[in-house]
Amino acid sequence: MPLTIYFLRHGQTSFSRDNAFCGSGLNPDLTPVGLEMAQAFAVAYGTIPWSAIYSSPLKRSLLTAQTLSKEIGLNIELRDNLMEIGYGKWEGMSVEEVDRIYHDAYIKWSSDPAWNSPTGGESAIMIARRGLQVIEEIKQSFIDGNVMVVSHKATIRIIICALLGIDVGRFRSRLACPVASVSIVEFGSRGPLLKALADVNHLSDRLRLQPGT
């Protein structure tokens, strides 16, 4: 069996619910709904033979990872390089506020986030570089088996784009990544193969229909 990495986005937060910028500069808890989402994943995927769990140290990811960790009794490996993109001065703001206050920077970032960063934040190229360091570490540590990576919306999309040869500047328009969704990449002899994208079948209809991004 080849190495398979499951990329799990954390459960709902108040910022994801309200569609506000929440990057590495903010550290909110999961909402009660977000905790339900995390638990639903742990129940659905708890019987898989896991080799390791890696997680961003931000609370929303760590709390999500802990539900699976407790279910299977496996320690969590924390990696700063899995943290969400830094949104700089945009942290906590709505899209409308950013567009009004930082209009020119927002337009540049929207058109090509690979090289244009949020005001005082990180570009997609920067996220790809640090995120792929964790993937390489996992590949060096495990030649096969199942590894969980719990991270964030932008970071997961950027890493997957980089693995599949998709322009990371298109991460916002090419890949979906709703809260508590899982994407699966298998590493075979011919390179990374996307087996599932943004799967939310482990969530109930009520959880899938929650507001937010």
- What are the tens digits of pLDDT across the range 44-54? 999 999 999 99
Check whether 2 has a pLDDT greater than 90: yes
* Amino acid 213: pLDDT: 78
pLDDT category at 212 given cuts 50, 70, 90 is confident
What domains does the chain contain, in order, with CATH numbers?
3-11+27-83+125-208 (3.40.50.1240)
Check whether 1 has a pLDDT greater than 90: no
Mean pLDDT along residues 89-94: 98
**Cα 195–chain centre separation:** 17
- The model's pTM: 0.97
pLDDT digits (tens, 9 = 90+) for 114-168: 999 999 999 999 999 999 999 999 999 999 999 999 999 999 999 999 999 999 9
* Amino acid 162: pLDDT: 98
How far, in Å, CA of 122 to CA of 155, rounded? 11
* Amino acid 172: pLDDT: 96
Alpha helices in 5-102 (DSSP H): 14-18, 32-45, 59-72, 95-101
